[in-house]
Amino acid sequence: MGELKAVTAEALGMAVGRFLENTPALLHLLGAAFSLRRFSTIVALSEVLLRRPETASEQKERVLTLLLGALAELDRFDEVATVYRERWMPLALPFPQPEWLLYAFQRHGETSLERHLLESVDDGAEISAWIRLRRDLLRKGAPDGSDLEGWEALYGERGKDERVLVGISEAVLRSAPLLREEWRERLGLLARWRALADIDRYRLLAGSYLVLLQPTDAERIEAFERFLDGAPLGQQPVRRAARAYVAALRRIRRWDRLRDLTRSCPDLFNLACPFKERELARLLGRLIDLPVDEPGFRLWCSGWERLLSLPLSGREVSEVLGHFILLRRELERREPEMAEDDLLADIQLQVLRRAKAEAERRLAWSGDLQARETLRSRLRTARLEATLRILEEDLDSLGDDHV
């Protein structure tokens, strides 16, 4: 079989020269090259055919189909996205082989192209279970138990297919929290990705899902630092995991680690932290370094004033208040005289006013009048810790989403 394939491949190369001016022959040649997995040959021949004015529109559609499939097989994903966006989408036609491109779009975060690819498939067309389940997931956003059972059945049939493993991992990640916990354990996804993390080809992809699928922020942070520390940020799976990593650091207030990132890995910090939030994160990180003398204390307080001048979301106000409480407590322990200084008392008053104003704003959205008035009464006399509890616990219990 190997000798036959080699002979056929040689004949294919000879045919290129013989039929270079014969468009129908070149089209047949493209089909044969695809069967032989001569993808570089397909790319070269496709460009020849697409430049020819005599190539009919139906022929160009076939050429583009094979060209996109070949580029995907060659892992030339940037070119796949460009050719699909600039040459295929203007045709306003469903792509005849969505299986060829879907994984390429998924791996490189081309969400808009993935949506176009799947939504353009005719509902009555015969498509694979993988494509159907992925399209249903895209349409519904959050899968229910029956959707996950469908993925489980496909996973049982094609468990060694990395595309199915990625698909079922995405379905679990998009499910409701209780379903996510149940199905992550039921399918053994963390163990499966952990095994793949030792294989060089899958190391970055596996590391990404080992971060994203973790049940807690602390485990998410540990997984990123174990599996993706120093990984190249040019890879989409790494970028996605990096954003989850930085978000986890912020949620559990690891400002010391964020401060270190701004110094040791500025590219990772800038990628994972949205532009409008970078100044806040930098300031919160710098304020961890408590002052030890009078000039340092004045500079430290000016950092708080700069931070309080920023436009802050509701979540960020809670972050600032929690950070201030922890650092003020530590300053009281180390430098009690500084902690009693009038300048810091003024900063504390500003922080408290900002936090109470945010709590009042969120209370205005509450539909429970009795609970709203009860919290408002508590808020009037609340000090730092009590105000933080109102922001992070009591208001959340009212089902307030306007943060």
pLDDT band at 88; cut points 50, 70, 90: very high
Is residue 15's pLDDT more than 60?
A: no
Helices (H), 108-161: 111-119, 129-140, 145-157
Interval 269-320: pLDDT, tens: 888 888 778 888 888 888 999 999 999 999 999 999 999 999 998 889 998 9
Q: Judge whether 191 lies within some domain.
A: no
Q: Judge whether 403 lies within some domain.
A: no
String of DSSP letters for 303-330: HHHHHHTS---HHHHHHHHHHHHHHHHH
Q: Judge whether 148 lies within some domain.
A: no
Give the end of a domain, one of 56, 76, 107: 107
CA 248, 250, 253, 257 dihedral sign is positive
Q: Judge whether 257 lies within some domain.
A: no
pLDDT of residue 45: 80
Give the end of a domain, one of 71, 92, 107: 107
Interval 203-214: pLDDT, tens: 999 999 999 999
Q: Judge whether 61 lies within some domain.
A: yes
What is d(CA 21, CA 18) in angstroms, rounded to the nearest whole number?
8
What percentage of the chain exceeds 70 in pLDDT? 90
Give the end of a domain, one of 87, 107, 127: 107
Number of domains the chain contains: 2
What is d(CA 53, CA 329) in angstroms, rounded to the nearest whole number?
76
Provide the residue range defining the domain that includes 70.
1-107
Q: Judge whether 361 lies within some domain.
A: yes
Find, among 168, 170, 230, 160, the residue nearest to 199 by Cα: 160
Q: Judge whether 101 lies within some domain.
A: yes
CA geometry: angle 322, 325, 328, nearest 5 deg:
145
What Cα–Cα distance (Å) separates residue 61 from each residue in 89, 281, 328? 11, 50, 67
Query: Is the separation of the CB atoms in 314 and 403 below 8 Å?
Result: yes
Q: Judge whether 392 lies within some domain.
A: yes
Is residue 400's pLDDT more than 60?
A: no
What percentage of the chain exceeds 90 in pLDDT? 45
